[in-house]
Amino acid sequence: MLALRLLNVVAPAYFLCISLVTFVLQLFLFLPSMREDPAAARLFSPALLHGALFLFLSANALGNYVLVIQNSPDDLGACQGASATKAPCPSPSTHFCRVCARVTLRHDHHCFFTGNCIGSRNMRNFVLFCLYTSLACLYSMVAGVAYISAVLSISFAHPLAFLTLLPTSISQFFSGAVLGSEMFVILMLYLWFAIGLACAGFCCHQLLLILRGQTRHQVRKGVAVRARPWRKNLQEVFGKRWLLGLLVPMFNVGSESSKQKDK
């Protein structure tokens, strides 16, 4: 339990550090390199478009990250403390989280990167957080590849060029051909790639469960769910104003869970 609580503190700090490093690299390396383009004098310069797109992706990722934490699932208070494993919960979809020490409705899982449980109230923000984090990381990787390609005069036309970049760069770094800042960017390329794929996988898996009307907790416990149309399951999580929430971080306005909470 101590290790889980420690991970609940370290994981959010790790995510915030990666976000800060990404922002610094974008601001002080990638954007200045684009301003050197002769076409930058135009109104819609590459640097301006790149900055606007990165700001949109990062703002949605961090915005939904904050909403996942603020919009915590309600503590039903049905099971408390050590007796939570023995006392029956009011619904098969509820679960007592030992890390958060509370019972949540439609419990899905505990996310250590947000330090919070994912349930009925913040499921929508968690899915969007995974989506925009994946897009921001993959976009940063593309911008980083363009920067490394320009600085080191490396061509990524060959499919295996990205796979062989790291071992080649390590040998060149120790020989002095690659600077420390360039080596750091190369390491970040692989980190962005890994985080982007992981978040994309989480997002797709979560969307599949939402379409089925299930949660991860129900799948692990083998709980059968009532068959419903996938559109109704999707609307229950994302609400009727899903397009507005897709563009701007916001609470579950218009969703079924928020209506039941208001009642």
Q: Is 57 exposed, middle or buried (0-12, 13-18, 19+ CB in 10 A)?
A: buried
Identify the CA nearest to 103 among candidates 114, 122, 88. Answer: 88
The pLDDT score that the predictor gives to residue 187 is: 96
* 111 classed as catalytic: yes
Using left for φ > 0, alpha for ψ between -120 and 50, and beta otherwise, residue 247 falls in alpha
What Cα–Cα distance (Å) separates residue 220 from each residue in 30, 50, 215, 234?
44, 42, 9, 21
From the candidates 79, 97, 111, 199, which is the catalytic residue? Answer: 111
**How far apart (Å, rounded) are the C-alpha atoms in residues 31 and 27?**
6
Task: Name the token pair of 111.
Answer: 């996310």
Give the sign of the dihedral formed by CA 244, CA 247, CA 252, CA 255: positive
pLDDT at 75: 62
pLDDT score recorded for residue 112:
92
| Residue 254, pLDDT score | 46
Minimal CA–CA distance to 22: which of 168, 162, 202, 184? 184
Rg, the chain, Cα only: 22
- pLDDT of 263 reads 44
Model pLDDT for residues 45-93, shown as the tens digit of each residue: 788 889 899 999 999 999 999 999 988 776 666 444 444 444 444 565 6
Walk along the chain (263 residues) and give the pLDDT tens digit of each residue: 788 889 889 999 999 999 999 999 999 999 888 765 554 456 567 888 898 999 999 999 999 999 999 887 766 664 444 444 444 445 656 778 888 888 887 888 899 999 999 988 889 999 999 999 999 999 999 999 999 999 998 888 887 889 899 999 999 999 988 999 999 999 999 999 999 999 999 999 999 999 998 888 888 888 777 888 888 888 888 887 777 777 777 665 445 544 444 44
Give the pLDDT of residue 93.
65
